[in-house]
Amino acid sequence: MRLANKVALITGAAGGIGRESALLFAQHGAKILAVDINAAGVEETAALVAKAGGEAVAATADVAQADDCQAMVARAEEAFGKLDVLFNNAGIMDSADADAVATTEDVWDRTIAINLKGVFLGCKYGIPALLRAGGGSIINTASFVALLGAATPQIAYTASKGGVLSMTRELAVVHARQNIRVNALCPGPLQTELLMKFLDTEEKKQRRLVHIPAGRFGLAKEMAQAALFLASDESAYVTGTEFTVDGGITAAYVTPQDPAP
C-alpha cells in the first residue's frame, strides 16, 4: 500500500496512462478522483477501480476551462476531504499537427489550450488544495519530445510539452518549501490510442521504432508504475525532475546521418 490514505486527482483518466494510473494508485490505497472530457470513458474507469476493490469518483471536465478545473478540485475535496496528489495527465495529439508551415492556428491554439494551459489551470486550482492538505505531489505529463526534436513533425504538441517541462521546474522551485513536489513525467512513444492514431502507417511506426533501444513501444501501465513512485512518499526528495521513461530513446538519439524518429 504505497499510497495509503492519499487522495489523487488524475486527468485524462478515461484511457491510456490516466486509466492505468487510476487502477494502480487505487490498488495501492489511494482514493481517486478520475477526470476526463470523455464522460462515459471516465465512468468506466471509476467502475473498473470499484470492481478491483478500490474507491473512485468520476468527474467530467475540460482541462482547458478554468471553471471545470476549479470544479474538479472542489469535487475531490468534497468527495474525499482533501487532495494529496495532482496528476495533470490529459493531453491531445492532433492528427493535423504537422510542421510550422502546415499547422493551422486552430490546431496550435487547441493543442496549447489543452496540453499546456490545462496543466497551468490544474496547478492554479490544485495547489491551494494541496496546501490545505499540508503539501503533496504534482505530476505533469510531458513527453520525450520536450527533450528531443522528432522528425515526424508535431510542432504544437512538441511546443506544448516543452512548456509543461519548464513550467514544472519553476513550480518545483517555487513550492518546494511548502512541501509540494512537482515532477514531469516524460514518456517515450507508447502503444496508446493517442500515438497509434498519429503514427497511422507502418512506415511511420517503424521510423520511430528504429530509435527505441528497447525495440518496442512502451505501455501505459509502465508509465503508471513511474507515476506511482512520483506520487508516493518514496520520492520525498525528488522534485523538479524530468522523469524519463522511454525505453532508452533519449539516450540513443540519432547521429546526423540517421533518419530521425
Nearer to ligand NAD, 131 or 207 (CB): 207
Q: How far is the CB of 64 from ligand NAD (least distance, A)?
A: 5
Q: Is 206 exposed, middle or buried (0-12, 13-18, 19+ CB in 10 A)?
A: exposed
Binding mask 64-103 for ligand NAD (x = CB under 6 A): x------------------------xxxx-----------
Is 12 a binder of ligand NAD (CB under 6 A)? yes
**CA separation for the pair 48, 100 (Å, rounded):** 41
157 catalytic residue (yes or no): yes
Nearer to ligand NAD, 194 or 238 (CB): 194
**CA separation for the pair 204, 27 (Å, rounded):** 36
Is 126 a binder of ligand NAD (CB under 6 A)? no
Single residue of 6, 11, 30, 175 touching ligand NAD by CB under 6 A: 11
Nearer to ligand NAD, 1 or 39 (CB): 39
Is 136 a binder of ligand NAD (CB under 6 A)? no
Is 129 a binder of ligand NAD (CB under 6 A)? no
Catalytic residue among 125, 157, 237, 253: 157
Q: How far is the CB of 81 from ligand NAD (least distance, A)?
A: 24
Nearer to ligand NAD, 57 or 63 (CB): 63
Size of site (CB under 6 A) for ligand NAD = 30
Single residue of 24, 114, 138, 148 touching ligand NAD by CB under 6 A: 114
Q: Which of residues 182-241 bind ligand NAD (CB under 6 A)?
A: 187, 189-190, 192-195, 220
Nearest Cα to Cα of residue 157 among 88, 66, 61, 91:
91
Is 17 a binder of ligand NAD (CB under 6 A)? yes
Number of Cβ within a 10 Å radius of residue 1:
10
Instruction: Give the CB-nearest residue to ligand NAD.
Output: 16
Binding stretches for ligand NAD (CB under 6 A): 11-12, 14-18, 36-38, 41, 61-64, 89-92, 114, 141, 143, 187, 189-190, 192-195, 220
The residues annotated as belonging to the active site are 157
